């Protein structure tokens, strides 16, 4: 949507099996402050 980039660690992706995201894929998530800036948590694919 043109917003700021947010780091996503694979452990934050709420899915079974191989956890990966594709650029442009729609997801919902919350933003937390990580050690190196903003990071996504509770990432769910839509």
For position 23, which CATH number holds?
2.40.50.140
* pLDDT at site 4: 78
Q: Is residue 28 part of a domain?
A: yes
* pLDDT at site 1: 62
* pLDDT at site 16: 85
Closest Cα partner for 6 from 39, 32, 33?
39
* pLDDT at site 14: 93
By residue range, what is the domain housing residue 20? 10-45
Where would I find the beta strands (DSSP E) of 1-46? 27-34, 37-45
Dist CA 39 CA 31 (whole Å): 6
For 30, counting Cβ atoms within 10 Å of its Cβ (0-12 exposed, 13-18 middle, 19+ buried), the class is: exposed
Q: Is residue 19 part of a domain?
A: yes
Number of domains in the chain: 1
Dist CA 16 CA 3 (whole Å): 28
Q: Which residues of the chain have pLDDT under 50?
A: none
């Amino acid at each position: 949507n043109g917003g700021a980039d947010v780091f996503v660690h694979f452990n934050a992706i709420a899915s079974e099996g191989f956890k990966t995201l594709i650029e442009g894929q729609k997801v919902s998530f919350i933003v937390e402050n990580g050690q190196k800036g903003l990071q996504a948590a509770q990432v769910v694919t839509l």
